[in-house]
Every structure is written in C-alpha cells, then in structure tokens.
Structure 1
Amino acid sequence: MPHLHIEYSPTLERHVDVREVCRAAWEIMATDKIFPRAGIRVRAFAADHWIVADDHPDNDFLAMTLSVGSGRAQSDLKAAGDRLFGAVQQVLSEVLATPHFALSLEIREINAELSWKDTPIHARLSRQ
C-alpha cells in the first residue's frame, strides 16, 4: 500500500506539468523494492482554495503525503522518501529556484488492522 497523495495550488500548472511530477514519483516507487507494484497509487489534486505563507499572489505549493502499510524499517522508508523527494525536486527545479514555492513530503504508516481493502489488481499482478 504505497499511496502517494499530491495536493497542489492550481496556479502551479502555469509552470509545471503535474502529470510529469506524478510520473517521476511513480517511477521511483515502481522501482523501489520496498513497495509492491500492485499497491502503488499516485493521485494529484489541485486545491480549490489555498493561501500560502504571506498570501503573495505568486506563491505556489506542492504537498505530498505517502501512506504505507506498517512493517517496513524506518531506515528503508527514509531512503525511499529521500529518493522520491529528490525525483520530484528535479521535476520542480525551476519553481524551486524561485522565492515563491513550497514543496513537502510526509510519510505515514497505516495500521493494517484499521485499513480495509478489496483489490483484485494484486492477484492479477502476482500471476505475471
């Protein structure tokens, strides 16, 4: 269950192809040994309403939350987070060079006993 939720200011789309951000994140997750491919989800949503920092009209943000099932070593999650954050930083290098952008990543571990799933995708991919 590596689910990456990306929330961003819609004005960011003037400068960045958000699909490219999603693709870069997915590529890191899909090649990382600690994430089962069948469980990977990358979703991006523009915020309907937002205010960043001092409410300057040029301010933009992209906030990522990676939800994972419990049981992985913290060092493995840290390393995966470093790779994921670095890949997204590369895609966003131009906006990160401005004084009006905020990028973040948080990893959350989900308690398996409090998480329900019905996902035939896992069965299909395990047969490949």
Structure 2
Amino acid sequence: MPHLQLQYSDNLPSRIDFAQLCRDLNSTLADTQLFPVGGIRVRAIPVAVYSIADNHEENSFLDAVLRIGVGRSQEQKNMVGNKLTEKLEAKCTNLLATPHFALSLEIVEINPEFSWKTNSIHPRLKNQPK
C-alpha cells in the first residue's frame, strides 16, 4: 500500500497526460516517506459512460481514491491528502479555470482483517543497494 486509483471522464486524455500524472503522483507518495516504495501503485482508468451534473458535453471529472493500510496519524493522512491535492490541482489548472470540471480525492483506510496481499516486489527492493 498505498494504491491510488484515478478514474476520469474519457474526454480528458487530450488535456491531461495521464502517464506522466501517474509517475508524478507516485513520486509524491514516495516523497512523503510514509509508505514503502514497493507498495506504491498509481493507476488511471478512463470512464467511457458517465453523466455529470447537467449533462453539458464539456463536463468532465477526475476522481482519485487513495487506499492505505491503517497506522498513519490524522496529521500524516492530512499531509498526504494535501500533497496529492496540490499536485492534482497543479496538473488541472486549466480545467479548474472552466465551469465544467470536478476534481475529488478521498483517502480510505483498509481493514487489515479483510485484506490479502502477495507481493514479490518488496523483497527485490529490500535487496537493492542504497
């Protein structure tokens, strides 16, 4: 963990470089030093079918959900939420200047009792020289 999933209206790829945004958000999460690098996942998923507000053809959205394991303080969660929001807002400045864009971020803590993981990336990264 953490896993950051971006869902976005499919009228945005011409306005946002989602591959670069994923890399930037990955770096933002790593820079917080709250999460093991081997657990960071950022993925962007286009949504082809949607209805937004008044159905204006220019309406668009980017919805981000960060799923994290338990164990971070409220201050740490606020810090990572603020850093991600700052990065997202900076990448969406032009869109936010229009009356047709919705940006959201939510942090969800995962109950460890109901979470199963198998990961071969962590051991590889632990064995790399610093």
- Where on the TM-score scale, by shorter chain, does this alignment land: which range? over 0.9
Greater helix content? 1
**Aligned-partner residue type, residue 36 of structure 1:** P
Question: Aligned pair 1:79/2:79, yes or no?
Answer: yes
Q: Percent identity at matched positions?
A: 44
State the shift of 1:96 in Å: 0.9
What's the TM-score once normalised by structure 1's chain length? 0.96
State the shift of 1:108 in Å: 0.2
State the shift of 1:48 in Å: 2.4
Question: Aligned pair 1:17/2:21, yes or no?
Answer: no
**Corresponding position of 1:122:** 122
**Aligned-partner residue type, residue 55 of structure 2:** D
Alignment of 1:39-78 (within 5 A): 39-78=39-78
Q: Distance in 2 between the 1:99 and 1:18 partners?
A: 21
Structure 1 residues not aligned, in runs of 5+ = none
Q: Distance in 1 between the 2:6 and 2:102 partners?
A: 13
**Aligned-partner residue type, residue 19 of structure 2:** R
Structure 2 residues not aligned, in runs of 5+ = none
Residues 37-80 of structure 1, C-alpha deviation per residue, up to 9 Å, x if partnerless? 00000010001211111111000000000000011111101111
**Corresponding position of 2:95:** 95
Q: How many residues are treated as equivalent by the alignment? A: 128
Q: Distance in 1 between the 2:60 and 2:39 partners?
A: 30
Q: Distance in 1 between the 2:16 and 2:5 partners?
A: 17
- CA RMSD in angstroms comes to 0.9
Q: Distance in 2 between the 1:12 and 1:122 partners?
A: 33
Residues 63-103 of structure 1, C-alpha deviation per residue, up to 9 Å, x if partnerless? 00000001111110111110011011111111111110000
